[in-house]
Chains A and B, each alone.
Chain A
Amino acid sequence: AQSVTQLGSHVSVSEGALVLLRCNYSSSVPPYLFWYVQYPNQGLQLLLKYTSAATLVKGINGFEAEFKKSETSFHLTKPSAHMSDAAEYFCAVSDPHTGANSKLTFGKGITLSVRP
């Protein structure tokens, strides 16, 4: 069975500082990995996805994530935080090899606050 661990529930950074949100996964096969963002009172939006091509994936709003098989990690980074990045972020994993019964498994989410 696949799973995702997002350690901690809240990260606070200063505007202009590096953003690092951690995600570790467990999967018995090469997975697909995703990061989603949720702004207040909205649904989730896809930030970026890893689907077994390049290990460094670039997404929207200047975010990127690197798939590291040896560390079973898919951490999300952004070089310089902006106030508009304040939101909740979810990591998710899926197994593309088991067909119709495979679906995304989401982490618990982590809230990012950005201080002026």
Chain B
Amino acid sequence: NAGVTQTPKFQVLKTGQSMTLQCAQDMNHNSMYWYRQDPGMGLRLIYYSASEGTTDKGEVPNGYNVSRLNKREFSLRLESAAPSQTSVYFCASSPFSWQPQHFGDGTRLSIL
């Protein structure tokens, strides 16, 4: 029972490099989310997809793009990584947007 799977688990990038974080869920959920978590800042929503075919900006979308590839997969892309994007990134999914979210184990990203 995989739930929400994020790849990779760890990544180190140099400033200016690009990177795509992958997320897949096997629960047939409609809604998917990308968060970043920084010390003292809690969870901040980057982008979300309420249903397949739709994406919307969250609280901190600058510097990121997303693709809802199909119902299962929701990727997050950093086009030109900056040190301020060093963080732990979590993907989550839920049956519908107002219902509880299920989280992946996170991707720890360091940008030098």
Residues on A close to B: CB < 8 A?
9, 32, 34, 41-46, 49, 90, 94-96, 98-104, 106-109
Q: Does A49 contact B100, Cβ atoms closer than 8 Å? A: yes
The answer to whether B97 and A46 have CB atoms under 8 Å apart is no
How many pairs of A and B residues are in contact by the CB < 8 Å rule? 65
- Please, how many angstroms separate the alpha-carbon atoms of A101 and B31 in the complex? 10
- Pick the most buried of B31, B45, B99, B106: most chain A CB atoms within 10 A of its CB: B99
Contact at B98–A43, with CB atoms within 8 Å? no
Q: How far is the CA of A108 from the CA of B106 in the complex (A)?
A: 18
Q: Quick check: B103 and A44 within 8 Å, CB to CB?
A: yes
Size range of the interface on B? 20 to 34
Which residues of the other chain, A, contact B45 by a CB distance below 8 angstroms? Answer: 103
B9 smallest CB distance to A (angstroms): 10
Asked, given contacts A42-B105, A43-B90, A90-B42, whether A103 binds B31 with beta carbons under 8 Å apart, the answer is yes
Answer whether residue B65 sits at the interface, using C-beta atoms and an 8 A cutoff: no
Can you name 8 A-B residue pairings with CB atoms under 8 Å?
A: A43-B106, A44-B101, A44-B103, A45-B103, A94-B97, A94-B98, A94-B99, A101-B56
Min Cβ gap B5→A in Å is 11
